Chains A and B, each alone.
Chain A
């Protein structure tokens, strides 16, 4: 018996391997296929209404005609607002947790809490936001209240990505910097953060994708059913793409008539998320290059 005589007593193990890979491959293709079908469905249904007018005009005729411009602007405001809140707070908490907090029960507790926060259903955030920002702080239904609520939702993700990005950095950089007489803060700000930045920014942008698609948190805190004008201040209500989509598909004045508009809105929403993801990718590569060069 030698290995090159073509006979093998272990045919079954090869068979098992082949079978496993066939199944895996089949499932992977199925997933991709479903994704393609969804996209194709929405694009196919929605592309017909996409026009310059659709993107830049106010909705008309009970949202069966016109455009979705205020919803786009509203979503943009909410995303920017939520990030203005979540980014500094999240990144700073992440830095504190990874660079300063010593291992112990307190750190474990905070971690547990952030993880739990990430698992809280978004409608609960909405409810909380309404209770705290809208009522207690008296912001009313406003961009401010909505942004803060969305920011809270994004916070665990930002904290986690920051922490993970920092944790992935080899300790030799920290030790090397400290050994040169740098303080911990100098080490963090001048060496560690620049290295972690590409990954942090990626996490941030991915959470932008998530925030821009959320409906539940803005339901009670900012979103307007129908508001064909642009906001003037952060205390204004706005329309937002996901909520707009929800409204015209479920409770519009004429659901059948606005069906095409709904697909168009969905298409724009998906497009935005896609662009955001591509941007995240590109930014990460760009910063990764910058960090090495600088």
Chain B
């Protein structure tokens, strides 16, 4: 159903007038956005502005929450992920996700990375082996763990665990990687490593990152979207948004003059 070879197509994620309600709460108010392939897009905004909620629409993680209603269209690589006959597990293979807190499984380092392959029916031993190594290399973790692949993932440091989670997401070769504040639970050194990694990864993946840290958005992203009270206030090249935002609310937020 998904065609991962279509990298040359311009937009990876496009949304049209997306509204989301949690029960009575109108959390997203008509979001239109188009994110380019092989670029890093950052979502910034105060807590509760809807940026994480919006991110979770792209791999339909909001389906897990009761009482959520979504209107509008979301296209990922030109497939309408809500309207057509989509299996969520296929979608999630195509759209990987990394979470705020590192959440490796209580398995060995190797099995953590291999997990996505196994649940998706890959059993060829050599293939799994190769893919695990490649993913760990992509996540810049291989050199640190190659001698202890059989050890528990819990023996790694927080930063290493997060890179392991990134490797785990990469192993199933998604085309889009969603990152929900991937460095907010990490120390500055680990954060810097993750940020470097994001830079490297955009060669092969389209990345959307939610962050509370505006400097982080500045450092890693090509484009930045500012959300406020469920609206997409401004979406522009990161350089432009951080040097000359058009909207007063964006200006207030990034200069720390809110409220």
Contacts and interface: CB of A to CB of B under 8 A. Distances in A.
Note whether A and B form a binding pair. Answer: yes
Interface of A: 102-103, 170, 172-173, 175-183, 186, 190-191, 194-195, 291-294
Interface stretch (B46-54, B105-113, B195-203, B211-219): B105-113
A195 B151 CA distance: 16
Given A180-B92, A181-B116, A173 B105 contact: yes
B-side interface size class:
20 to 34
Given A190-B115, A292-B152, A180 B96 contact: yes
A180 B116 contact: yes
A294 B104 CA distance: 13
B108 A294 contact: yes
Interface in B160-202: 165, 168-169, 172
B93 interface: yes
A292 B106 contact: yes
Contacts of B106: 194-195, 291-292, 294
Nearest to A104: B66
Contact of B119 (A173, A190, A195, A293): A190
Contact of B89 (A170, A172, A182): A182
A134 to B, nearest CB: 45
Given A102-B66, A183-B89, A292-B154, A176 B105 contact: yes
Contact of B168 (A173, A180, A186, A190): A180
Contact of B103 (A175, A181, A194): A175
A293 B152 contact: yes
Contacts of A195: 106
B7 interface: no
Contact of B99 (A102, A176, A182, A186): A176
Given A180-B172, A194-B106, 4 more contacts: A172-B99, A179-B61, A180-B96, A180-B169
B97 interface: yes
A177 B61 contact: no
Given A176-B103, A190-B119, A294-B108, A181 B93 contact: yes
A293 B108 contact: yes
18 contacts: A102-B66, A175-B61, A175-B64, A175-B103, A176-B105, A176-B165, A177-B119, A179-B96, A180-B93, A180-B96, A180-B119, A180-B168, A190-B115, A190-B119, A191-B115, A195-B106, A291-B106, A294-B106
